[in-house]
Structures are given as C-alpha cells and as structure tokens.
C-alpha cells in the first residue's frame, strides 16, 4: 500500500472540502448539536447534510467535530449549535473541514472543494488546491487584512509542485 502503487482495498481518510475563514453568525447553546451552514456554502464545499465536519476557530484556537445541517440558501448563515457554542462565538472566524474515506486508487487523484468566503460568508473563490490562496483574495477573507494577509503554500497550480 502506497501512493506509488495504490490499492483499491486500502482506504485513507482524505481532506474533501472546506469553507475557509467563514464568520460565525450565531451560536445557540440550547440547540441540539451540529453546525447550520447556508445551503449554497454546503454545496460549493461538496458537504452533505449530516456529514461529520471539523470546525477550527481561527479566533481562539478551538477545534471540534460535529455534523452539518442545511441553513437557508443565500443567507450566509454559519450557526454553531449546542455545547460547541461554549467554545465558538458569533463573530469568530472559522474553517469548516470535511473528509472522505476513499480507497487509495480514488484518493490518488481526488480534488477537494475549497471555498473562500468574505466576512459576510459570500463565496469569493472556489478551487481545489488546499493550501493555495489566489493573490487577489489574500486580504479579503474573514479576519485577514493588508497588514495580516493570508499566506499560501506557494504551490504551482500548473504542476502541483
């Protein structure tokens, strides 16, 4: 089993999609678990309702796992529900990450769904290179600024190197 000789019988958990630097719009401690996400954002990131996701809070460093619920299409809603509301608050900047269990053959060529959003959670850019932030978006995504731009991996989009 290796990426040089992939096996259809071996499975790996692979990064599948993310909504990058979204702004939390609401937190409801009394709701029964989950994260509610604008349906447009769910679809752009190729996330399913009920799918397990990790939420990384850029504002305070919290990281947790939960599942998705579809919010109103076009609303920009990112609502943290249940106990997670103790750790993630309205106005926080978060990254919502999904994963997929793929066999090594599928995983070798899988392209994730990366969605960059602005501070109102409107889609700015959709791509498939996890560590790449197009230059024109380095200062416009939630929490970034001219004095603190987003950094990119420097991956060459043509060669992947």
pLDDT digits (tens, 9 = 90+) for 50-70: 999 999 999 999 999 999 999
Residues 97-150 pLDDT 10s = 999 999 988 988 899 999 999 999 999 999 987 766 666 555 555 555 455 555
| pLDDT value at residue 5 | 73
What is the residue range of 115's domain? 11-129
In a domain, 117, yes or no: yes
Instruction: Quote the percentage of the chain above a pLDDT of 90.
Output: 68
d(CA 121, CA 128): 19
d(CA 97, CA 35): 12
Pairing label, strands 35-38, 78-81 = antiparallel
In a domain, 149, yes or no: no
d(CA 35, CA 55): 9
* Catalytic-role residue among 2, 31, 34, 75: 34
Number of domains composing the chain: 1
Per-residue burial over 86-121, b = 16 or more CB atoms within 10 Å of its CB, e = otherwise: ebbeeebbbbbbbbbebebeebeeeebbbbbbbbeb
147 counts as catalytic: no
* Catalytic-role residue among 2, 31, 65, 67: 67
31 counts as catalytic: no
Q: Residue 11: how many CB atoms within 10 A of its CB?
A: 15
In a domain, 64, yes or no: yes
């Amino acid at each position: 089993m290796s990426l040089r000789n992939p096996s259809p019988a071996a499975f790996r958990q692979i990064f599948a999609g993310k909504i990058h630097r979204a702004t939390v719009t609401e937190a409801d401690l009394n709701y029964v678990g989950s994260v509610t996400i604008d349906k447009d954002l769910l679809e752009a990131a190729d996330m399913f309702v009920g799918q397990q996701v990790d939420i990384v809070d850029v504002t305070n460093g919290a990281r947790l796992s939960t599942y998705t619920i579809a919010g109103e299409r076009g609303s920009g809603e990112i609502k943290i529900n249940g106990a997670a509301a103790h750790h993630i608050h309205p106005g926080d900047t978060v990254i919502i990450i999904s994963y997929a269990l793929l066999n090594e053959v599928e995983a070798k060529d899988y392209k994730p769904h990366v969605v960059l959003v602005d501070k109102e959670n409107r889609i700015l850019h959709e791509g498939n290179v996890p560590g790449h932030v197009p230059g024109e978006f380095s200062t416009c995504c939630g929490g970034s600024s001219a004095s603190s731009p987003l950094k990119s991996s420097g991956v060459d989009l043509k060669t992947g190197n």
